[in-house]
Each structure stands twice: as C-alpha cells, then as structure tokens.
Amino acid sequence: MHNSMTPGHQRQAGMGLWGFSFNVLLLGTFLVLILRVAPSYFTYLTVKDVIERAAEEYDPQRDTVYDVRVRLNKLLTTSQVYDVSIEDIEISRERGRLVIDATYERRFPLIWIIDGVMRFDDLVVETP
C-alpha cells in the first residue's frame, strides 16, 4: 500500500483548541442562563398554582375579598414564595366575579452588567 502522506504531515482529527474553547464557552453561558432563569420560572409556576387554587376554593356565598387575601397570603407563605407578596396581588370583584391579578415582573443579574427581565402577564384568574 502506498501512503499518500509525506513524512511530517499528519492529518488532524477531531476538534482544535479554539473549537473546544468556543464549545465550553457556549455551554458555560447556557448553564449560567439556565441557573439564573430557572428559579424565577419555578416561582412563577408556584404563584400560578396558588392563585388558581385560591380561585377554585372561592365560595361567593361565604368568602369576602379579605378572606381570599388571607388565604392567598397563607398559600404564598407555605409555598415559600418570596418574589411576590400579598401586597403585589390585586383582588377585586367585577361584574359579580372575583378577579385575582398577580401579574409581576422579575429582574435579575445575568452576566457582568447585563440584567434579565421576565414578565409574567398571564397571572389573572377570574372565578366563574
């Protein structure tokens, strides 16, 4: 068999140092973003569950807006939600229905001088 490569010329296989470094940088950036965004997203899911549960348990014959506020405060406390307080949640009666509006915005540091903002606008629940 004849080898077409001349001595001193080796064929490079795999990834070079720059390619490897770039991939590590991308992976690191992705992990930092996930670690910064995930807690706020999980808090959002908890708040959504809490307000939906409070709306389901609402009895217009028995409960007042104050009762719902107290119930929500207890649910937020037991769920260990610290990003949203009961003062941030608007509870009102409109057209004979109870409306719970817990929309909020969360700002958090991402990398160096760059901040991230997550807006949770879909946290409005209206009882039937």
pLDDT at 1 over 80: no
Contact residues for 28 (Cβ-Cβ < 8 A; gap 6+): none
**Per-residue pLDDT averaged across 53-60, rounded?**
90
Q: Cα separation of 73 and 104, whole Å?
A: 16
Q: What is the pLDDT of residues 93-119, one digit of tens each?
A: 888 889 999 999 999 888 789 899 999
Q: What is the pLDDT of residues 3-53, one digit of tens each?
A: 555 566 666 666 788 888 999 999 998 998 899 899 999 999 999 999 999
Residue 48 has a pLDDT of: 95
Query: What are the phi and psi torsion angles at 55 (to 5°)?
Result: -70, -40
Q: What is the pLDDT of residues 61-87, one digit of tens each?
A: 888 899 999 999 999 999 999 889 999
